């Protein structure tokens, strides 16, 4: 015979009733959906952090994953576009920025790239920025070469502030630029003065071979055919103007056999004569003396 079971009671059991009411409780719902998961996650993090091996492993794994993500080819910088640079400078820039190609654009440090570009003598200022999707754009402002500075055999290109731009193999690379020499000739003050002297040279210009810095304080202007104009440390331009006026007099002392014209002390120009002139001066003096004597 089939077993007869009493019909199931439709009334909720006490436990079920309590559980369901608990689930309906708003405070409990809030706890279960917000606080409990939060606590659980925090506890998990705390536990992992408290186990040093686990923590290290986790950190290592995390770093690995991070690097993997960063080094994906999709993020690499692949193109370098350079604006405002001459072809030879551009090549130098490319050499300088070679390290960025293939590196991740996510970790790219634009400041560092800019510093590296600006470290080049030719570059006065530069901007570096990443352009979507994978191009590094560098725009540079180049220095204007103003002078050539000679130290022994070495030639250096200087800009108007005296900053070194590049080394030169020969003057022929920049035939139009004036030459300076001497220790301390590249200070901004000296360079500035030298540029003004070259500009003001006027008629003297074609004869001016260059300036030599003496004692890191004043200039000697060396003329093509020998004489040296020793300019004072102060008011060098006035002294130069004096020389120019002097050259317009019929005597034209600088075309004579003069090794130097000393203008270092204002109001007391001094000529240093060449050996021939000195001889003739002696001769002249002797003749006069003789005549007087006679």
Closer residue to other proteins, CB minimum distance, 24 or 268: 24
Closer residue to other proteins, CB minimum distance, 21 or 196: 21
CB 10 to other proteins: min, Å: 7
CB 15 to other proteins: min, Å: 11
3-class secondary structure for 103-126?
A: CECCCCCHHHHHHHHHCCCCEEEE
CA distances from 19 to 13, 15, 24, 75 (A): 10, 6, 9, 53
Closer residue to other proteins, CB minimum distance, 10 or 53: 10
Closer residue to other proteins, CB minimum distance, 30 or 79: 30
Closer residue to other proteins, CB minimum distance, 18 or 167: 18
CB 108 to other proteins: min, Å: 54
Closer residue to other proteins, CB minimum distance, 21 or 112: 21
How many whole angstroms separate alpha carbon 45 and alpha carbon 224? 83
Backbone angles phi, psi at 271, to 5 degrees: -105, 135
CB 23 to other proteins: min, Å: 9
Which residues would be at the binding site for other proteins (CB under 8 A)?
9-12, 14, 17-18, 20-21, 24-26
CB 14 to other proteins: min, Å: 7
CA distances from 24 to 4, 18, 37, 109, 262 (A): 37, 10, 18, 54, 107
State the pairing for strand pair 164-168/123-131.
unpaired
269 token code pair: 């120009």
Helices (H) and strands (E) in the chain, counts: 9, 12
CB 25 to other proteins: min, Å: 5
CA distances from 210 to 1, 168, 170, 175 (A): 131, 17, 16, 13
């Amino acid at each position: 015979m089939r077993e007869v079971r009493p019909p199931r009671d439709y009334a909720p059991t006490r436990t079920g009733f309590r559980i369901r009411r608990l689930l309906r409780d708003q405070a409990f719902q809030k706890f279960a959906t917000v606080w409990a998961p939060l606590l659980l996650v925090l506890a998990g993090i705390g536990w992992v952090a408290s186990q040093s091996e686990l923590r290290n492993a986790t950190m290592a794994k995390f770093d690995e994953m991070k690097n993997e993500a960063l080094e994906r080819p999709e993020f690499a910088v692949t193109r370098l576009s350079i604006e405002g640079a001459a072809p030879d400078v551009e090549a130098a820039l490319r050499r300088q920025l070679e390290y960025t190609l293939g590196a991740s654009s996510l970790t790219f440090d634009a400041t560092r790239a800019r510093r590296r570009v600006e470290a080049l003598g030719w570059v006065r200022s530069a901007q570096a920025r990443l352009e979507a999707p994978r191009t590094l754009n560098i725009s540079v402002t180049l220095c204007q070469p103003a002078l050539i500075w000679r130290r022994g055999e070495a030639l250096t290109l200087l800009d108007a502030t005296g900053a070194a731009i590049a080394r030169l193999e020969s003057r022929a690379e920049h035939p139009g630029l004036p030459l300076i020499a001497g220790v301390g000739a590249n200070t901004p003050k000296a360079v500035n003065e030298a540029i003004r002297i070259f500009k003001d040279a006027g008629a003297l210009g074609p004869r001016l071979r260059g300036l030599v810095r003496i004692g890191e304080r004043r200039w000697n202007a060396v003329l093509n055919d020998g004489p040296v104009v020793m300019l004072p440390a102060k008011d060098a331009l006035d002294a130069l103007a004096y020389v120019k006026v002097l050259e317009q007099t019929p005597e034209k002392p600088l075309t004579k056999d003069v090794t130097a014209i000393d203008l270092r002390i204002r109001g007391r120009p001094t000529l240093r004569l060449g050996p021939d002139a000195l001889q003739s001066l002696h001769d002249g003096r002797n003749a006069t003396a003789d005549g007087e004597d006679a």
